[in-house]
């Protein structure tokens, strides 16, 4: 497994595919059913730190990085698999930490700013957004609704900023600032409509949801009481559920529309005042499942009431959940051992 060390896993915007950036190249997988759709080996791309996919198209954004990198870490190269060649590149003065592509724009995150370019035709810079120090390159895009919303790190501790990319150049396109946490934000997610943003801090105990227009806090979800690193948060397409994965080896599932499904503390159920009010008022996940502990993974909703998790150890997990809080494993695989299959 060492020669195949996984450096990064990233879903496409619809969560129907995920890319795998590795020390010896990259691979692209279909989620449901799990199948390898593309691989590019060392001789073509070298070690890769990040790969982003535009929806389910042939366009991929590739960033080099690792022990045998072929491309600089400060360059984003656009590969068109239908033409089997690189068709664009973006070069910066610092390492590229994150990339998103959506419809007619590409968003590229550095450690203290975000760049937005028109894409892929007549590509030019549209916007530069300065941020607080952002070592993870946190930025998310809600690309499927009428609004193309960008969420990223704000300027103060615990703050995020929301930018409506669909009205760039207008006075109302100024960023909206949300005070989300008392410590730095460590994980972000947007629902597909761009109307709700989910945030988690470095503590990793709480996930807070905010309206991206009014800045109102909608709900507070509790992952747990002990500190954790959240690697992934995702909404289902209808924004009725949310899943979250941390380094504790647990993927939690929360209800957002019918919040009575979520667990509360015994004090809250009895209508009593608890000396630990922050725990009493929070909503806990109504079901969960486990993946390898201390292993970074990404999670997302798949067909039906199912959640998938892809882990950097190469394992792939699919669980079916019910409103009663039951979780049962439907599939387990090792995606690195799959053979390359046909194109989309």
CA angle 46, 86, 42 (to 5 degrees): 15
| Confidence at residue 279, expressed as pLDDT on a 0 to 100 scale | 43
Percent of the residues in the chain that have a pLDDT greater than 90, as a whole number: 82
Pair 52, 332: CB distance under 8 Å:
no
Torsion from C-alpha of 7, 13, 14, 19, nearest 10 degrees: -20
Q: How confident is the model at residue 103 (pLDDT cuts 50, 70, 90)?
A: confident
Pair 101, 139: CB distance under 8 Å:
no
Q: What's the mean pLDDT in 168-185? A: 84
Pair 121, 148: CB distance under 8 Å:
no
Percent of the residues in the chain that have a pLDDT greater than 70, as a whole number: 90
CATH of 229-344, one of 3.40.50.1010, 1.10.260.30, 2.130.10.10, 3.10.330.20: 2.130.10.10
Query: What global pTM score does this model have?
Result: 0.91
| Confidence at residue 99, expressed as pLDDT on a 0 to 100 scale | 98
The string of pLDDT tens digits covering residues 227-272 is: 999 999 999 999 999 999 999 999 999 999 999 999 986 544 444 4
Instruction: State the residue for tokens 């969420």.
Output: 151
Q: How confident is the model at residue 10 (pLDDT cuts 50, 70, 90)?
A: very high
Q: Which two tokens stand for residue 257?
A: 């529309």
CA angle 152, 175, 99 (to 5 degrees): 30
For residues 143 and 192, what is the distance between their CA atoms, to the nearest angstrom? 6
SS3 97: coil
The string of pLDDT tens digits covering residues 45-84 is: 999 999 999 999 999 999 999 999 999 999 999 999 999 9
Nearest alpha carbon to residue 189 among 208, 173, 176: 208
| Confidence at residue 166, expressed as pLDDT on a 0 to 100 scale | 84
Whether the pLDDT of residue 125 is over 70: the answer is yes
In Å, what is the CA distance from 312 to each residue of 171, 291, 296?
43, 11, 6
Q: pLDDT averaged over the chain?
A: 91
Q: What's the mean pLDDT in 277-302? A: 85
Query: Domain residues of the chain, as ranges?
Result: 1-96, 229-344
Tell whether the torsion through CA atoms of 262, 265, 270 and 274 is positive or negative: negative
Alpha carbon 41 to chain centroid, angstroms:
25
For residues 201 and 185, what is the distance between their CA atoms, to the nearest angstrom? 4
Q: What's the mean pLDDT in 170-176? A: 70
For residues 62 and 77, what is the distance between their CA atoms, to the nearest angstrom? 5
């Amino acid at each position: 497994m060492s020669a195949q060390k996984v450096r990064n896993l990233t879903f496409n915007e619809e969560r129907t595919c995920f890319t795998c950036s590795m020390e010896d190249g990259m691979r692209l997988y279909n989620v449901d059913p799990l199948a390898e759709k593309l691989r590019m080996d060392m001789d073509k791309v070298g070690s890769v730190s990040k790969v982003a996919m535009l929806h389910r198209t042939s366009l991929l954004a590739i960033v080099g990085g690792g022990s045998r990198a072929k491309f600089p870490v400060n360059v984003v190269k656009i590969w068109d698999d239908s033409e089997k060649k690189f068709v664009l590149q973006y070069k910066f003065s610092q390492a590229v930490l994150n990339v998103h592509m959506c419809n007619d724009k590409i968003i590229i995150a550095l450690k203290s700013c975000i760049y937005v370019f028109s894409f892929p035709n007549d590509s030019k810079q549209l916007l530069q957004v300065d941020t607080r120090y952002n070592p993870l390159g946190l930025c998310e895009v809600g690309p499927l609704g009428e609004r193309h919303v960008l969420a990223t790190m704000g300027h103060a501790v615990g703050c995020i900023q929301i930018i409506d990319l669909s009205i760039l150049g207008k006075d109302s396109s100024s960023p909206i600032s949300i005070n989300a946490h008392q410590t730095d934000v460590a994980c972000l997610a947007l629902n597909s409509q761009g109307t709700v943003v989910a945030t988690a801090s470095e503590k990793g105990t709480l996930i807070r949801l905010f309206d991206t227009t009014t800045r109102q806090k909608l709900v507070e979800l509790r992952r747990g009481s002990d500190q954790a690193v959240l690697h992934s948060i995702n909404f289902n397409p209808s924004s009725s559920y949310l899943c979250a994965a941390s380094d504790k080896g647990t993927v939690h599932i929360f209800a957002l529309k019918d919040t009575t499904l979520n667990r509360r503390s015994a004090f809250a159920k009895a209508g009593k005042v608890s000396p630990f009010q922050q725990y009493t008022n929070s909503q806990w996940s109504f079901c969960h499942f486990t993946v390898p502990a201390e292993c970074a993974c990404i999670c997302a909703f798949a067909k039906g009431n199912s959640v998938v998790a892809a882990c950097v150890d190469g394992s792939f997990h699919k669980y079916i959940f019910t409103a009663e809080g039951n979780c049962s494993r439907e599939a387990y695989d090792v995606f690195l051992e799959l053979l390359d299959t046909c194109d989309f």
